[in-house]
Structure 1
């Protein structure tokens, strides 16, 4: 049995980053992602349960209202989710804090800045983007110059974070290393043995959960495992189907069975079966 919670479960993520008592953890993590002029001095959570629109969907999102060190107010939308049409949903979600800033009566349309931060335990599917662990997105013009500085997206594809302990260089690296490996730790690594991470590890200890919390977490964990298994099965199926299509094309192009076997890992017997089917 693991010593620490899985931070990708709903319970684990909210335990670390969604509780008032632990907002110093969230502030420290977000400050590694945000620019110098939007370093957070304080923040508060909006109760998404009270939002009428798509309340079930919105439970996957934290509306975090922040006050910068400079005094400026801004909003962070923080998501941990594995969903279809991920980019579409991300864009749709930021319409909520934009619209919610509308004021009754005369209003000059001045908006507070919005950051959408997504910590993902999956890779979204465009091949070129699979190579990017961190992707910072803003509205830019045709020359790549920033057009609007009040809407930013920050995506972290955690499966692509592969730094080892001796390769960690920044506080941001340390947070990513913590999240990526938390469930597998049995003690605090030396490089994370500092106050903010000591609190994070203490918060994440399974031994500190009540019986009710433990039951909720274990139910979340089973759901998470089921989801991961379903996705892995779908991916394996897609890979196998792709191999078959490649083999068929190679057969039609005149390749011999042994060469097709080397290129696809399909058995020679199976390739012969495909060849016979294609002759019919």
Structure 2
């Protein structure tokens, strides 16, 4: 490595614990916890009353067929999952009318996002099928009657309705509007089964102002999008929403909840993989540019450009400054300069 290349390296000695502590300090400067991160998202919605209110809004249910109650279940999935991490859903529940629900908050877009939705839903459906079978046939005696065997055979491959709701804080290129309703359909548009439904929300396309908020669906999406930066949130004269907002007030949150939130905001194993991928891509761009412009100078410029792109990506996801410095290897002054340029662009 040349001397010029060495000058663009930026060594960070900040430990994870230090980053968590700094993030806690930043969190305490805000009015609300940001529900775009898991801990606050679950505090906001992993409550039976709030979840019923939210789901009735999502499904646009009228008074006569509204969901009356839900049972919130363990978020772990006991299925062998092909990933290098433990597998948990954000919120898993069963409604009073027998629908199995998975609600996910996704802050950053992974490669193969749609594949992830399908893969996760497959595991969720298998877990739901197992629990449904246990409920209906788990207590049958060993010496089954002819009628019991016949009933079990009829329902052997029956699956309960499984609906997945993904709330995404990134552009979903596959859909034009903030909401997309997806299902398994034929080329002619015929639905193969109405027992599987995917509802994808793109918060970057949800731009309704407070004055335009009408439905329960609008209210929850408005809260999810704006809570992290708001000084005061509207409760829309809804006691359930008022209680939910109260649960994410920073000055009311427990130290454990705040620390969990900070841990979510610093990094997870999945995020470590993502930032490593961004760094590898930055290096690859540098090498490609080096071949075009003369290897040494091109490598320096290309690596710098890749790191800037990585920092901009992280800034757009509201990552803490210390975290961006650590992964982009850019000095804090450069990160702040990029942040200021983004803010200036947003106001134009």
| Contact residue 75 and residue 89 of structure 2 kept, 8 A | no
| Contact residue 45 and residue 244 of structure 2 kept, 8 A | no
- Please, which of 231, 246, 267 is the counterpart of residue 202 of structure 1? 246
Structure 1 residues 39 and 147: alpha-carbon distance in aligned structure 2, compared to 1, 3 A threshold: farther
Structure-to-structure mapping, 1:1-280, within 5 angstroms: 1-18=29-46, 22-34=47-59, 36=61, 39-49=66-76, 51=78, 53-54=80-81, 56-68=85-97, 73-81=98-106, 82=108, 83-100=110-127, 101-102=129-130, 103=133, 106-108=152-154, 109-124=157-172, 126=173, 129=175, 131-189=176-234, 192-223=236-267
Q: Which has the higher contact order (CA 8 A, sep 6+)?
A: 2
State how far apart, in whole Å, the 2-side matches of 1:77 and 1:107 are: 28
SS at match of 2:231: coil
What RMSD over aligned residues (CA atoms) do the two structures have, in Å? 3.2
| CA deviation map 1:164-192 (0-9, x unaligned) | 11122222111111111012222233x72
| Contact residue 38 and residue 90 of structure 2 kept, 8 A | no
State how far apart, in whole Å, the 2-side matches of 1:50 and 1:110 are: 20
State how far apart, in whole Å, the 2-side matches of 1:169 and 1:120 are: 21
* Shift of residue 50, structure 1, vs aligned partner: 6.4
| CA deviation map 1:75-110 (0-9, x unaligned) | 012212343322112112222243231547743322
TM norm structure 2: 0.57
Structure 2 alignment gaps of length 5 or more: 1-28, 138-148, 293-348
Structure 1 alignment gaps of length 5 or more: 249-280
State how far apart, in whole Å, the 2-side matches of 1:209 and 1:61 are: 19
| Contact residue 43 and residue 64 of structure 1 kept, 8 A | yes
| Contact residue 61 and residue 77 of structure 1 kept, 8 A | yes
Greater fraction strand: 1
| Contact residue 188 and residue 198 of structure 1 kept, 8 A | no
* Shift of residue 39, structure 1, vs aligned partner: 3.5
State how far apart, in whole Å, the 1-side matches of 2:44 and 2:114 are: 25
SS at match of 2:68: strand
SS at match of 1:115: strand
Aligned residues: 227
State how far apart, in whole Å, the 2-side matches of 1:171 and 1:210 are: 28
